Amino acid sequence: MTRLVIFDLDGTLLNTIDDLATATNWALERQGYPTHELAAYPFFVGNGVARLLERALPDGARTPENVAALRRDFVDYYDAHGTDLTRPYPGIPELIAVLRERGVMLAVASNKYQEATARLIGRYFPATFRIVLGQREGVAPKPDPSVIWDILAATGVAKGEILYVGDSGVDMQTAANAGLASVGVTWGFRPRAELEENGAMFLIDRPEQLLTLL
């Protein structure tokens, strides 16, 4: 029996790629670097803002100092415009509603920085998730399982009663590192093959299919 479902955020609950790309390109332009087409960004994201910005920088410019400068501009823009184009994936609001009706606890484990993670969940899914954790200072990002340990400590749910749902290899690795059952979603940012190669226990093509795994 599933008592808790832990969701990744970007590419799983919300399609955030347009806003992430716009904010990154804005920061790159401000710092005098070339920008990228939208199609490049699904393969830049997944490991937190610092890695996104590092990947977006040209070869030879990927220094900690340049990433830090880019991050300041990115956060300024994203904090103001992070919901301009972002929307829940089709079927996600309905899935969340059914899970709540069934009494399943819900949590978010994201590599997006904590403030943005909390803001997006508060906007699109207010008063819905038991615990919402993004990337925080001093806590290693996914696939390190530290964020999962924090969720388990807050909820008291046993590992065997949890499903972890995400759209990337990083998510599947996170679930494996935490000893959780993993569900890969194919509507997100990364291809099905990446989910398979990283050990997804289940694959779903539509949100409502998650209900068959509870």
User: What is the Cα–Cα distance from 73 to 30, expressed in whole angstroms?
Assistant: 8
- Could you tell me if 98 and 199 lie in one domain? yes
Q: Within this chain, do residues 11 and 21 fall inside the same structural domain, yes or no?
A: no
Hey, what are 14's tokens? 């919300």
For the beta carbon of residue 85, count every other beta carbon within 10 angstroms: 14
pLDDT at 194: 97
Per-residue pLDDT tens, the chain, 214 aa: give them.
899 999 999 999 999 999 999 999 999 999 999 999 999 999 999 889 999 999 999 999 999 999 999 999 999 999 999 999 999 999 999 999 999 999 999 999 999 999 999 999 999 999 999 999 999 999 999 999 999 999 999 999 999 999 999 999 999 999 999 999 999 999 999 999 999 999 999 999 999 999 999 9
On whether both 11 and 39 belong to a single domain, the answer is no
What is the number of domains present in the chain? 2
Q: Mark whether 9 and 31 lie in a shared domain.
A: no
Residue 134 and residue 115 in one domain: yes
44 and 150 fall within a common domain: no
59 is known as an active-site residue: no
CATH number for position 72:
1.10.150
Q: Cα(50)–Cα(35) distance, rounded to whole angstroms?
A: 16
- Identify the domain boundary among 81, 116, 137: 81
| pLDDT of the residue at 141 | 96
Which residue among 47, 81, 115 closes a domain? 81
Statement to judge: residues 122 and 183 lie in one domain: yes
Do 55 and 38 lie in a common domain?
A: yes
Cβ atoms < 10 Å from Cβ of 199: 13
Domain extent for 197: 4-15+86-213
Same domain, 111 and 178: yes
pLDDT, position 72: 96
Strands 4-7 and 105-113: parallel
Query: How far from 203 is each of 65, 106, 200, CA to CA, in Å?
Result: 39, 19, 7
CATH code of 209's domain: 3.40.50.1000
Statement to judge: residues 66 and 122 lie in one domain: no
pTM of the model: 0.96
Please report the pLDDT score of residue 126 as a whole number. 96
Domain boundary among 81, 103, 137: 81
Q: Do 103 and 30 have their domain in common?
A: no
Residue 93 and residue 38 in one domain: no
| Residue 46, pLDDT score | 85
